[in-house]
Amino acid sequence: MMMNLRKAAFVVVDVQNDFCPGGALAVSGGDEVVPVVNALARMFDVCIATQDWHPAGHVSFASAHPGARPFDAARIDDRVVTLWPDHCIQGNAGADFHPGLELAPYRLILRKGFRLGLDSYSALFENDGSTPTGLDGYLRGLGTSSVVFAGLALDYCVYYSALDAARLGYTVFVVRDATRAVGSPDGSVERALADLASRGVAIIDSVEVLR
């Protein structure tokens, strides 16, 4: 699958302190994506960064559900969801972008998950599958036909973002070495990659963009 950089947007998902080593919901090696992401961002005219931006007491936090523990499953609005440690709380240091992330290339910072009772994995829709974040309209207004995803975490927010972009008709790429995964439950990475590939999403390496 060929990529036209002039028609592509680079979307970096949630490269925030709480998802990096030492953070409240650390992804193993999460900080390792930063130099790759920085190099990739210099290749695109359109760069967008998403930012998890939860209020205290957010519905996705295990602490908001008496007796629950992080990584427990819970049923919320007829959906089975994973409960998380408190993370990326609005205005807290954990919600800040990793200090090594170069923000100059980014035209838009898109904050998601800011509704108390609704989470948002995807950069395009809240987890109800119908409430838009506004990113689709923004991209279409710029004439974007392809979206290239990187960031954290591969098996959750990157996966759902790429899934929604493909469903909306974009040509979609995921830069595998510019992502890291939660890896829970077992097999989540393999399932995510297989599902994306089955929907026409191209899983690529950064050298395919940088060369």
Q: Which of 20, 47, 88, 157 is catalytic?
A: 157
Tokens of 23: 């953070």
14 among known catalytic residues = yes
47 labelled catalytic: no
Buried b (16+ CB within 10 A) or exposed e, 86-112: bbbbeeeebbebbeebeeebbebebbb
The residue from 14, 18, 52, 86 that is catalytic is 14
Catalytic annotation, pick one of 18, 112, 119, 155: 112
* Active-site residue list: 14, 112, 157
